[in-house]
Homo-oligomer: A and B are copies of this chain.
Amino acid sequence: MEFQEVLGYLAAFLTTASFLPQVYKSWKTKSTEGLSLTMYTVFFLGIVCWLIYGIFLNSLPIILANTITGVSAFSLILMKLKYK
């Protein structure tokens, strides 16, 4: 596997995994006070576009990364609406 491919997978992993501590923190503290609902809504729309884009390109890494990130972003939106 070429260096740049490894880099792409590493980038996808890091930017996907990075949302998990935020989901955990918001869930544990039941607080989403500092979070911007606008950010996560716009971000979620962007992730859906990346997902469709990945399906068009038939690119498993893009599909996988954006499915996980999409679920994270969506759960943060739900928590934001629930906990304010």
- A residues near B (Cβ < 8 Å) are 3-4, 7-8, 10-22, 24-26, 29, 31-36, 38-43, 45-47, 49-50, 52-53, 56-57
Contact = CB atoms under 8 A, between A and B. Distances in A.
A63 to B, nearest CB: 13
Contacts of A18: 38-43, 46
Given A15-B50, A19-B43, 9 more contacts: A3-B56, A7-B56, A8-B50, A8-B53, A15-B43, A15-B47, A24-B36, A32-B34, A33-B34
Contact of A33 (B4, B14, B31): B31
Contact of A11 (B32, B41, B49): B49
5 contacts: A11-B49, A12-B46, A15-B43, A18-B39, A22-B36
